[in-house]
Structure 1
Amino acid sequence: MFIAMNRFKVMKGAEADFEKVWLSRESHLDELPGFIEFHLLKGPERDDHVLYASHTIWRSKANFEAWTKSEQFRKVHAGAGATKPLYQGHPEFEGFTVLQTVAQDGTRSVAAE
């Protein structure tokens, strides 16, 4: 599995507008092979911003990379420039390869090398 995250430093007072953009848009993620799950996360508040993160889980890094080159990706991000005043700087991308998964039922799995 592969987890892709973008962190956003949303300016104080712009939280509702930022959330509205994300919660009202069609992501098209479910149209892509290998997509498992998406989360929009709200994190800690700082002096000048509130931290948010988008978090997607993919079956593989290749599935995620295919998403970034897809027509669906272009559609979703077509108006991204219009939201820049809502957050500071560019989103910070972080990608993670899953090495181990522990399930609620106690089962464990380790990624194949």
Structure 2
Amino acid sequence: MIVVTNRIPVAEGHEADFEDRFKNRVHLVDQAPGFIRNEVHRPKPMKLDHATGAWSPDPDAQGFYEVKTWWRSMDDFIAWTRSPAFAEAHRNRAPKEMFAGPSKLDIHEVFLSTDLKG
């Protein structure tokens, strides 16, 4: 299994518009062969005071949204990126001012997974 993570620095004040883009997406990736699931993670920058063990918000940290997709194989992911559906899904680009810098794409292969059963 492959997990693809796009780490995106969203500019302050654009968070709601960024999230709306994902809430209103056309779900083309969901229909791609080998696609397993998609998650969008909202950043929660926190800091730990090691002396007290207390956690608090970190207003100075740049948080990154993470858009994660799980794929059966690397070949399935590559096929998605070469498909007409991928081009359609990425056609309506967000305005540049929505971002605080470039995004970063990471790809990982799952070699171990633990699911908690209720």
Q: Do these two structures clear the TM 0.5 threshold for a shared fold by scoring above it?
A: yes
Report 1 or 2 for greater relative contact order, CA contacts < 8 Å, sequence distance ≥ 6.
2
Counterpart of 1:89 in 2: which secondary structure?
A: coil
Asked if 1:93 corresponds to 2:90, the answer is no
Shift, 1:21, TM fit? 1.3
Q: What residue in structure 1 maps to residue 65 of structure 2?
A: 52
Q: Which has the higher helix share?
A: 1
Cα distance between partner residues in 2 of 1:15 and 1:49: 13
Q: What residue in structure 2 maps to residue 41 of structure 1?
A: 41
Give unmatched runs, 5+ long, in structure 1: 106-113
Asked if 1:70 corresponds to 2:83, the answer is yes
Q: Which has the higher strand share?
A: 1
State how many pairs are aligned: 104
Percentage of matched positions with identical amino acids:
32
Pick the structure with greater CA Rg: 2
Cα distance change on mapping 1:56 and 1:95 into 2, 3 Å: same
> TM-score with structure 2 length normalisation?
0.80
Cα distance between partner residues in 2 of 1:48 and 1:20: 23
Q: What residue in structure 1 maps to residue 52 of structure 2?
A: none
Letter in 2 for 1:25: R
Q: What residue in structure 2 maps to residue 109 of structure 1?
A: none
* 4+ residue runs over 4 A deviation: none
> TM-score with structure 1 length normalisation?
0.83
